[in-house]
């Protein structure tokens, strides 16, 4: 409390320094809830009062945000928890806080029991119920630099050095109002920052939706990868709180991680759908092969009718075509092609029908032969190169976006999600020392979703435990971060248990 003289209240050098430090604290606080608590605590500290209530102006009403009474050990809302059992204060002239807000006027009342201007029936009822005695009151509207009302600070029962309730000195009014305005400006700045963050996230989510909607076989991949990466971050925080991990993901760091995860496949916008949607080796080309084989049967029928081949030769060739077509159907969606199947494809591709002009009609085109010769999966080596190029395009696309300093690592994290710790990944063959923790987390999340996804056309999903086992094997081989694999395993199992309990 300020030192009293006969003429007026004057601050000592120590008290001036204290006020300046409060101002610095208000201007540097980046957490909204902490900032609001600082407004209330600063007002109480400077005026040496017993109680205070901070209201925020929202939806045309004053909402209780923080309440504190030192003598009764009451503290509510300081950590951001809602005070939802107190109805908002309507904007009426008879309510002292509403009046201060409506008229942007400081109200200083020495004794509420002697005041008839405002309705103090509420505080009087509270006093009767609790034994508290509300006396002096100072109400200050909080406005930002754009003259927008942010809220109202109500201070109760100023005290002297002996703890006796006294009126609030008018010298406090300009100090509290100026500090409140400073805090209001910071709140407005924080609001703008949050709006920019929300705008960025909504744009990223829109882009990830566009990626997923390009193909029915990728319907929720980016969202799932972001979800799994976030689960790993949450588990890291649990380990940190238990003293078992140095890393920690605050709200901002986790937000950047999830944004990078949502953008990791943006490069797939340039991958042809004929590659992304290929459910089998031939996919839509299967119909072309079926049509050609029916045409070949017709050609051989004509050859028989013209006497070019006899009945036995005709039956032999028709049987070969039909057996070959059955074979093609069987291997088209087969997971892995064995040596016998591979050799039969090569033999089949060597057959052609030769017409009267001596022009050959191959049973299989080169493209069909190449696709049917794929040993595993549905993509040729050229197809895989095009698919893998999506990470290069991710880097190129995100390189065109201006990310501020806070988000500058997102393109690198997103574009490196196919790199592996042992350098066997792509496209740059980076190794562990070159890969940020966020990149490693996205990689683990990406592999896990690829294994468990139910919408992939070229494979069946594996079970949760089998997928986690595969991740562990990759970690043991030095490809994935062992610790992160363990964290994801623990996180998904915890989620499964909670799901069963609920």
Res. 501: pLDDT tops 90: no
Residues of the chain with CATH 3.30.450.40: 3-191
The structure tokens listed for 73 are: 């050990």
Q: CA–CA separation, 236 vs 247, rounded Å?
A: 7
Mean pLDDT of all residues belonging to the chain? 89
- Percent of the chain surpassing pLDDT 90: 65
- Choose the weakest-confidence range: 69-83, 206-220, 335-349, 381-395: 206-220
Res. 20: pLDDT tops 90: no
- Choose the weakest-confidence range: 134-148, 329-343, 476-490: 134-148
Residues of the chain with CATH 1.10.3210.10: 214-274+386-501
Measured between alpha carbons, how far is residue 203 from residues 196, 207, 208, 394 in Å?
Answer: 10, 6, 9, 16
Residue 14: the pLDDT is 65
Res. 77: pLDDT tops 60: yes
CATH match of 214-274+386-501 with 1.10.3210.10: yes
274-283, 425-434, 491-500 — most confident range: 425-434
- Percent of the chain surpassing pLDDT 70: 92
Residue 453: the pLDDT is 85
Confidence of residue 8 (pLDDT cuts 50, 70, 90): very low
Residue 25: the pLDDT is 67
Residue 219: the pLDDT is 63
Confidence of residue 444 (pLDDT cuts 50, 70, 90): very high
List pLDDT tens digits, range 311-344.
999 999 999 999 999 999 999 999 899 999 999 9
Tell me if 482 sits within 8 A of 475, measured CB to CB. Answer: yes
List pLDDT tens digits, range 23-48.
666 666 667 778 788 888 888 988 89
116-125, 200-209, 272-281 — most confident range: 116-125
Tell me if 372 sits within 8 A of 345, measured CB to CB. Answer: yes
Residue 90, burial from CB neighbour count under 10 angstroms (0-12, 13-18, 19+): exposed
Q: CA–CA separation, 375 vs 274, rounded Å?
A: 19
Residue 13: the pLDDT is 62
Residue 12: the pLDDT is 59
Res. 3: pLDDT tops 50: no
Query: Cα angle at 277 between 274 and 278, to 5 degrees?
Result: 75
Residue 4: the pLDDT is 37
Confidence of residue 425 (pLDDT cuts 50, 70, 90): very high
Q: Which of 214, 172, 230, 150 is nearest to 45 (CA)?
A: 172
Res. 480: pLDDT tops 50: yes
Residue 181: the pLDDT is 77
CATH topology of domain 3-191: Beta-Lactamase (3.30.450)
The structure tokens listed for 224 are: 């799932």
Quick one: average pLDDT of 288-311?
95
> Sign of the CA dihedral 166, 169, 172, 174?
positive
Tell me if 262 sits within 8 A of 212, measured CB to CB. Answer: no
Quick one: average pLDDT of 75-92?
90
Confidence of residue 11 (pLDDT cuts 50, 70, 90): low
Strand partners, 147: none
Report CA Rg, the chain: 36
Q: What's the pTM?
A: 0.71
Residue 458: the pLDDT is 63
List pLDDT tens digits, range 143-188.
887 888 988 999 999 999 899 999 999 888 888 888 777 777 777 7
Classify residue 431 by its DSSP letter: B
Residue 496: the pLDDT is 86
């Amino acid at each position: 409390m300020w030192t009293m003289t006969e003429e007026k209240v004057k601050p000592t050098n120590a008290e001036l320094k204290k006020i300046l430090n409060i101002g610095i604290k208000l201007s540097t606080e980046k957490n909204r809830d902490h900032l609001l608590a600082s407004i209330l605590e600063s007002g109480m500290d400077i005026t040496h009062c017993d109680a205070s209530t901070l209201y925020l102006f929202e939806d045309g009403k004053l909402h209780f945000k923080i309440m504190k009474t030192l003598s009764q050990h009451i503290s509510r809302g300081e950590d951001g928890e809602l005070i939802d059992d107190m109805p908002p204060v309507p904007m009426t002239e008879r309510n002292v806080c509403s009046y201060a807000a409506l008229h942007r006027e400081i109200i200083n009342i020495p004794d509420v029991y002697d005041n008839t201007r405002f309705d103090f029936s509420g505080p009087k009822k509270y006093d009767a119920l609790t034994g508290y005695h509300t006396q002096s009151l100072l109400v200050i509207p909080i406005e930002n630099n754009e003259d927008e009302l942010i809220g109202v600070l109500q201070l109760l029962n100023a005290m002297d050095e002996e703890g006796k309730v006294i009126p609030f000195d008018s010298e406090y009014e300009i100090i509290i109002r100026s500090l409140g305005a400073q805090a209001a400006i910071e709140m407005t700045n924080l609001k703008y920052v949050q709006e920019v963050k929300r705008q960025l996230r909504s744009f990223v989510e829109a882009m990830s939706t566009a990626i997923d909607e390009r193909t029915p076989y990728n319907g929720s991949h980016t969202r799932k990868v972001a979800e799994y990466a976030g689960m790993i971050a949450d588990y890291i925080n649990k380990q940190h709180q238990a003293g078992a991990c140095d890393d920690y993901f605050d709200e901002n760091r986790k937000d950047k991680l999830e944004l990078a995860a949502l953008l990791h496949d943006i490069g797939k916008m340039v991958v042809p759908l004929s590659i992304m949607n290929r459910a089998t080796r031939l996919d839509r080309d299967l119909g072309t092969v079926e049509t050609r084989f029916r045409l070949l049967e017709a050609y051989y029928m004509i050859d028989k009718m013209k006497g070019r081949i006899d009945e036995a030769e005709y039956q032999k060739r028709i049987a070969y075509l039909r057996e070959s077509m059955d074979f093609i159907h069987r291997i088209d969606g087969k997971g892995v092609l064995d040596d016998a199947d591979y050799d039969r494809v090569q033999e089949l591709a060597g057959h052609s029908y030769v017409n009267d002009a001596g022009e050959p009609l191959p049973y299989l085109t080169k493209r069909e032969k190449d696709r049917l010769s794929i040993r595993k999966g549905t993509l040729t080596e050229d197809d895989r190169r095009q698919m893998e190029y999506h990470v290069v395009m991710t880097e190129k696309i995100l390189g065109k976006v201006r990310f501020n300093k806070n988000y500058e690592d997102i393109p690198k994290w997103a574009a490196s999600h196919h790199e592996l710790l042992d350098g066997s990944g792509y496209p740059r063959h980076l190794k562990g020392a070159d890969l940020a923790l966020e990149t490693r987390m996205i990689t683990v999340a990406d592999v896990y979703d690829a294994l468990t996804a139910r919408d992939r056309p070229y494979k069946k999903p594996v079970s949760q435990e089998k997928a986690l086992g595969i991740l562990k094997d990759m970690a043991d081989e030095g490809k994935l971060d062992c610790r992160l694999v363990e964290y994801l395993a623990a996180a998904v199992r915890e989620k499964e248990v909670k799901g069963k309990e609920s």
